[in-house]
């Protein structure tokens, strides 16, 4: 390890988290000191320890113990990702992007370093059969993809390491990567804003990215089961048909709610008149009869079932409540 000036360390690393609350970490460092050194590369770029760096800077430290990474660019990037994997919320979109990138790096490293590939192969072979990481089917037809051997080894090594570091199951890891690969920017943005859940995302990514944007407004207030149904409909009938149908339903639903509000208000007024024993004059009743007759006729046409509607509201078909008992409000 080395003891270097904090001011000499560069933090131009997109993986670092420098904008988080480090007050608890400051207290810990103040009481116990720095338990884990920062990790930098040969150019003094900070690879791991962004929060520790911020806490030390806030506490006024001028020098800090560091560990210098001697790996190549791919390995240095993995160091930065590793720090994030063990600390981030497993439901965060950023974590999924880190997992996807880490898997790519594992593959690149094994393709580049033949000796490392042989070492990984021996490591996987030495594991108990029940413990060996399984590369999931990704062809969609239940058959194993014919992946190059190095890619299989990289996937197995990757999922083994990440599972040990994060506690995530193999299935969770591959699902997280799949969400990052298949979700459109619109879907990822909605996840970040809390508008949709992981369950919603798992369903909507079954559609092409170009269709996901159009599906987004339709699923925000739906259950996962409802989203699954919409996705199946979109796959069989096309996204345009689903959008058109849902748009019509939204319009009808809005108008139906407006009618409900009006009828509820009318019922409250009528109930108040009856409760207070207030009578209406003949001229008012004549106008009300006309309006009610027209309303009843339109509602009958709207419901397309006059007999059922009349029975539900308690008067014979074609006869208004006022006509049935014209003296009720006199």
- pLDDT score, position 166: 84
The span from the CA of 25 to the CA of 28, in Å, is: 5
Residue recorded with tokens 């990481």: 133
CB of 163 within 8 A of CB of 173?
A: yes
Smallest CA-to-CA distance from 236 within 211, 217, 201, 209 is with: 211
Burial class (CB in 10 A: 0-12, 13-18, 19+), 7: exposed
- pLDDT score, position 251: 61
- pLDDT score, position 329: 37
CB of 323 within 8 A of CB of 289?
A: yes
Per-residue pLDDT of the chain (330 residues; tens, 9 = 90+): 889 999 999 999 988 888 888 899 999 998 888 888 999 999 999 999 998 999 999 999 999 999 998 888 998 999 989 887 877 565 689 889 999 999 999 999 898 888 888 888 888 888 888 788 877 655 444 444 555 688 888 889 999 998 888 888 888 899 999 999 999 999 999 999 999 999 999 999 999 999 999 999 999 889 999 999 999 999 999 999 999 888 877 666 666 777 888 888 988 888 888 888 888 887 778 888 888 888 888 888 877 754 544 454 444 444 444 444 444 333
- pLDDT score, position 26: 92
Assessment of whether the complete model's pTM goes beyond 0.95: no
In the chain the beta strands, taken as DSSP E runs, fall at 2-5, 38-40, 46-48, 63-68
- The first and second tokens of residue 54, run together, are 């911020």
φ, ψ for residue 120, nearest 5 deg: -65, -40
Burial class (CB in 10 A: 0-12, 13-18, 19+), 167: exposed
């Amino acid at each position: 390890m080395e003891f270097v000036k904090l001011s000499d360390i560069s933090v131009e690393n997109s993986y670092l988290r420098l904008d988080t609350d480090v007050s608890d970490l400051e207290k810990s460092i103040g009481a116990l000191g720095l338990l884990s050194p920062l990790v930098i590369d040969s150019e003094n770029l900070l690879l791991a320890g962004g929060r520790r760096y911020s806490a030390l800077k806030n506490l006024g430290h001028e020098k800090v113990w560091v560990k210098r990474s001697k790996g190549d660019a791919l390995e240095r990037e993995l160091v930065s990702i590793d720090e994030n994997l063990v600390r981030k919320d497993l439901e965060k979109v950023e974590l999924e992007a880190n997992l996807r990138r880490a898997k790519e790096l594992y593959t690149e490293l094994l393709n580049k370093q033949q000796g490392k590939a042989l070492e990984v192969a021996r490591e996987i072979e030495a594991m108990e059969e029940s413990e060996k990481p399984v590369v999931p089917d990704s062809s969609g037809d239940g058959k194993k993809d014919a992946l190059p051997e190095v890619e299989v080894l990289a996937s197995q090594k990757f999922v083994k390491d990440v599972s040990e570091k994060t506690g995530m199951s193999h299935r969770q890891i591959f699902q997280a990567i799949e969400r990052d690969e298949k979700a459109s920017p619109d879907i990822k943005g909605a996840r970040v804003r809390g508008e949709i859940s992981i369950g919603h995302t798992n369903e909507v990514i079954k559609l092409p990215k170009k269709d996901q944007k159009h599906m987004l407004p339709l699923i925000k207030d739906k259950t996962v089961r409802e989203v699954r149904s919409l996705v199946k409909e979109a796959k069989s009938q096309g996204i345009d048909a689903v959008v058109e149908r849902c748009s019509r339903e939204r319009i009808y639903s809005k108008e139906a709610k407006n009618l409900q509000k009006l009828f509820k208000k009318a019922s409250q007024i009528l109930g108040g008149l009856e409760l207070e024993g207030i009578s209406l004059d003949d001229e008012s009743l004549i106008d009300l009869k006309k309006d009610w007759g027209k309303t009843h006729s339109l509602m009958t046409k709207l419901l397309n079932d006059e007999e059922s509607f009349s029975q539900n509201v308690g008067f014979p078909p074609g006869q208004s409540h006022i006509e049935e008992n014209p003296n009720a409000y006199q």
